[in-house]
Amino acid sequence: MATKAQIDQYVKAHYSDAVKAGNIFNLEPFALLAHAALESGYGTSYQARHKNAYFGVTAGNKPANKYWGGTTYTSPVSHLTFRVYDSSLDSFLDAAQLISSHYLKSPLIGGDAVAYFTTIANSKYISEANGDNRQDYLNNCLSAVTACTQSAKSQNLISIGSGSANEAGISTPGKILLTGIGISMVLKRLKNI
């Protein structure tokens, strides 16, 4: 498990990446931030530190796209070939594009972290053949949402308000505002899983 300092450093460094990718692909930024945190060990993995790869997206037979230039890296441990990115933002954008086009068919799911991870955990993204455990993955992702949300709040990257129209998830420079009702519902749902 990452330390509070590692989580805070990761959230501070990549919160804006998650917000930008989430806004473009209609996905919940904290779901993206938590997803990348889990896949990259809160940005401490070799691929995150040296290849700007925060989601562990394998290259497969796919052609390069707007966010991934086609550069790959083959892990000496797993022997899998992964995508390499020019920036962390490109990694977030490429993953968000992949997730929104292949795994989350409903745009409504994109704004709900619990539904997002439930859908991902029950999709072909998770493979028991690779040793994945769907329930463990879901639980770990939801724990990462809580850790990232608490870190962002403690760093004043988000405000939890009373639910006014101005606080309905509308981005302001450097901050995303969440309603008290919305964040309370997410945290309550996380506790019930």
Q: Please answer whether residues 165 and 50 qualify as being in contact, where contact means their C-beta atoms are separated by less than 8 angstroms.
A: no
Q: What is the pLDDT of residue 182?
A: 42
The whole-angstrom separation of Cα 56 and Cα 53 is 6
Q: Are strands 72-74 and 81-83 parallel, antiparallel or unpaired?
A: antiparallel
51 or 114, which is more confident?
51
Q: For the residues 89-105, what does the mean pLDDT come to? A: 89
Instruction: Tell which CATH classification among 3.40.640.10, 1.10.10.10, 1.10.3720.10, 1.10.530.10 matches the domain 4-191.
Output: 1.10.530.10
- Surface-to-core class of residue 117, CB atoms within 10 Å of its CB (0-12 exposed, 13-18 middle, 19+ buried): buried
> What pLDDT score was predicted for residue 123?
85
Amino acid in position 133: N
Confidence of residue 171 (pLDDT cuts 50, 70, 90): very low
Return the pLDDT at 108: 52
Helix (H/G/I), strand (E/B), else coil: 63: coil
Q: Minimum mean pLDDT among 58-72, 119-133, 160-174: which range? A: 160-174
pLDDT of residue 110: 54
Which residue's entry shows tokens 């892990």? Answer: 75
In the chain, what are the domain boundaries?
4-191
Write out the two tokens for 161: 């308000």
Q: Pick the residue with more confidence: 166 or 101? A: 101
pLDDT at residue 178 in the model: 42
What confidence score (pLDDT) does residue 16 get?
96
**CA 49-54-55 angle, 5° bins:** 150
Across 90-114, average pLDDT: 80
What pLDDT, on a 0 to 100 scale, did the predictor assign at position 50? 97
Extract the tokens encoding 54.
């925060």
Rounded alpha-carbon distances, angstroms, from residue 53 to 58, 95, 103, 178: 10, 10, 19, 28
Name the residue among 37, 21, 188 with its Cα closest to residue 114. Answer: 188
Answer whether 138's CB lies under 8 Å from 24's CB.
no
Could you tell me what percent of the chain has a pLDDT over 70?
A: 79
Give the Cα separation of 19 and 24 in Å (integer). 9
- Which residues, listed in sequence order, are joined to residue 81 by a DSSP beta bridge? 74
Q: How many CB atoms lie within 10 A of CB 37?
A: 30
For 122-146, the pLDDT digits (tens) are: 888 887 777 788 899 889 988 999 9
